[in-house]
């Protein structure tokens, strides 16, 4: 019985493989023009009050399908700077946006005017 269990575990281990998704890490960043256009679209979708501040283009969390992101926030008041919005990009341009979550690196970014 123990031999059967051992063989079954070994056969399952042989079926699993650990492979790194190299293609996801080698995705080219979008062009500056596409980033600017997508960031402006995300600013409108966020409904933040101007003036809007943005971060530079950074890699998003490895769990995200779009590999690039820009963080946005309103700089109208100190309180409004605490709420951030994330705009996601692939190599072709803007994909989607949403309010930032803890896993997004928005809290550690340096912001500048849009």
Q: Model confidence over 29-88: pLDDT tens digits?
A: 999 999 999 999 999 999 999 999 999 999 988 877 889 999 999 999 888 889 999 999
Q: Does residue 54 form part of some domain?
A: yes
Cα dihedral sign, 57-58-59-64: negative
Q: Does residue 9 form part of some domain?
A: no
**What is the extent of the structural domain holding 46?**
28-113
Report pLDDT digits (tens) over 14-23. 555 444 444 4
Rounded Cα–Cα distance for residues 86 and 106 (Å): 8
Pick left, alpha or beta for residue 106 (phi over 0 → left; psi -120 to 50 → alpha; otherwise beta): alpha
Query: What's the pTM value of the predicted model, to 2 decimals?
Result: 0.74
What Rg value do the Cα atoms of the chain yield, rounded?
A: 20
Q: How many domains does the chain have?
A: 1
Banded model confidence at residue 12, pLDDT cuts 50, 70, 90: low
Residues 73 and 83 sit within 8 Å (Cβ to Cβ): yes
Q: What is the mean pLDDT of residues 6-11?
A: 57
């Amino acid at each position: 019985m123990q031999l059967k269990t051992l063989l079954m575990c070994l056969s399952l281990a042989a079926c699993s493989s650990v492979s790194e998704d190299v293609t996801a890490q080698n995705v080219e960043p979008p062009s500056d023009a596409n980033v600017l256009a997508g960031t402006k679209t995300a600013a409108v979708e966020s409904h933040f009050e101007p003036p809007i501040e943005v971060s530079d283009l950074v890699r998003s969390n490895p769990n995200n399908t779009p590999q690039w992101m820009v963080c946005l926030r309103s700089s109208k008041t100190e309180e409004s700077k605490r709420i951030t919005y994330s705009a996601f990009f692939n190599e072709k341009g803007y994909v989607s946006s949403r309010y930032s979550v803890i896993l997004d690196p928005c809290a550690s970014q340096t912001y500048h005017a849009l």
